[in-house]
A and B are shown apart, each in its own frame.
Chain A
Amino acid sequence: MFGYVRPYVPDMRVRENEMYRAMYCGLCRSMGKCTGCASRLTLSYDFVFLAAVRTALEGCPVKLTLRRCGVHPLKKRPSVERNSALSYSAACAAVLNRAKLLDDINDSRGLKKLSRRLLMPEANHAEKLAMRFGVCRGGVYESLTALSELEKQGCPSADTVAEVFGELLGNVFSYGLEGASARIAKAVGMGVGKFIYIADAIEDREKDLASGNYNPFNLSPASDEALSSAVRLELGSAAAAAELIDFSACPEIGEIIRNILYEGMPKRADDIIDKCKNKKKGMHNDRSL
């Protein structure tokens, strides 16, 4: 479920890319500070997007400083100083990573299951630390329960299931905000969440078919064109909402968010759809040989 929310770097301006990397670096540092050093290993691009949206909506100060770190010991790099949005994103990362780990343990068997089990104490610890920063852990697990309930029932509608996940992310994005900001954040999270669920389902289609796990697109198949346009519609609603954010304090962040929503994510979806198509073609060829 992670790694779908990325910018399309070739289309970024240098200063936007630099700001993005500084945010990435700042988030990693915040994770170290807020949820323990080990949690930094779970750093992913998705939470940089969350941090960017929250920074803009909360009006957090964006202060860049040059810092050195263990991963890049040779050169100091610009990094965004920790602000409430970064702390919040780090905390959310801990909660969602633990949820993902639990999900993996339930879904897998054998060695993989054992290895995930071994990570649990660390994830628990990170989540405990994360609770200091006001995250809606309850809401996350509630949504996840609803999600697994629907999956167990074998819900044939991808939209219905995706909506539950969208709801989850909508809550994560908007938690603690008020008024217009909360509504915008909710809509952005909703669109992005639905996108992530659908993209993940597309990518796992073949795998789930083989293993017999639930996948909405195996129950009610959709053409590649339909998938591509559905994904774009979800992103369109997220982007329309994100356009309502006031980026005047830091225009680079606005451009980063636009790049991710208009370029990065649709490209990622197309890649996934293409990959599946090629795989299918490959299998077909094998058989004909």
Chain B
Amino acid sequence: MTDPYKVLGISPNATDDEVKKAYRELARKYHPDNYRDSDLADLAGEKMKEINEAYETIQAQRSGKKRGKTNFGGGTSTDPRFADIRSLINQRRYSEAEMRLVSMSNADRGAEWNFLKACVLAQRGHFFDAQKYIETACYLDPDNGEYQNMRAQMNARAGGYGSGYNTAYNTTNCDICTVCQTLWCRDCCCECMGGDLIRCC
């Protein structure tokens, strides 16, 4: 199946409002009323169906994510040592939790250890390190929904920043045009400073 975000023409980091807005706009565009006199009505209908499906998929995905979102580290653990640490985190006693984590031997530092470490670090605002640990946790235990949720949420937070300028277009593709523009810009900058990057222009 195609990426539902691509169908709506938005980035996966878009907020719920942006998703709704994109959906509404597309639905208006392909509304059967616009194709009433046209013999392309069936094609528009297919497109409309695609959009509806994409929107529903995203809605379903996001409502699932929200349920899992409530306080990280608050989940239950099968390991009694980690259960203690989780309860410390729940009580917002982060430094104690971290001390307990640090005191654990290397052999015990599995996926859950990395995850809890990431939780503690994220609470302190150490996002770089938190990201490192959550990646490790996800790597060690890729099937764990809790770890995946936290990683997704962190990525979304990072991507959401600066969304004021994010348009619905895909800004990451780097084609020859971008390369040319970049080169040209660099050349201009160099020339401003008296140097030259591309001698012919």
Q: Which A residues form the contact surface with B (CB < 8 A)?
A: 15, 18-19, 22, 63-66, 75-76, 78, 180, 183-184, 187, 236-237, 240-241, 243-244, 248, 251, 255
Contacts and interface: CB of A to CB of B under 8 A. Distances in A.
Given A240-B34, A243-B29, A248-B6, A64 B176 contact: yes
Contact of B40 (A65, A244, A251): A244
A128 B84 CA distance: 86
Contacts of A78: 176-177, 180
B37 A237 contact: yes
B30 interface: yes
A75 B201 contact: yes
Interface in B1-44: 6, 29-30, 34-35, 37-40, 43-44
Contact of B176 (A65, A76, A184, A187): A65
B175 A64 contact: yes
B169 interface: yes
24 contacts: A15-B178, A18-B177, A18-B181, A19-B177, A22-B177, A64-B175, A64-B176, A65-B176, A78-B177, A183-B39, A183-B40, A183-B43, A184-B43, A187-B38, A236-B34, A237-B37, A237-B38, A240-B34, A240-B40, A240-B44, A241-B40, A243-B29, A244-B43, A248-B6
B29 A241 contact: no
B43 A180 contact: yes
B40 A187 contact: yes
B170 interface: yes
A190 B25 CA distance: 25
Contacts of A64: 175-177, 180
A33 B169 CA distance: 34
Contacts of A180: 43
B47 interface: yes
Interface of B: 6, 29-30, 34-35, 37-40, 43-44, 47, 169-170, 175-178, 180-181, 200-201
Given A15-B181, A236-B34, 19 more contacts: A15-B177, A18-B181, A19-B177, A63-B176, A64-B176, A64-B177, A65-B176, A78-B177, A183-B39, A183-B40, A184-B40, A187-B38, A187-B39, A237-B37, A240-B34, A240-B38, A243-B30, A244-B40, A251-B170
A255 B30 CA distance: 17
Contacts of A22: 177
Nearest to A64: B176
Residue of B29, B37, B47, B175 contacting most chain A CB atoms (<10 Å): B175
Residue of B29, B38, B44 contacting most chain A CB atoms (<10 Å): B38
Contacts of B169: 251, 255
Contacts of A244: 40, 43-44, 47
Contacts of B178: 15
Contacts of A183: 39-40, 43
Contacts of B38: 187, 237, 240-241
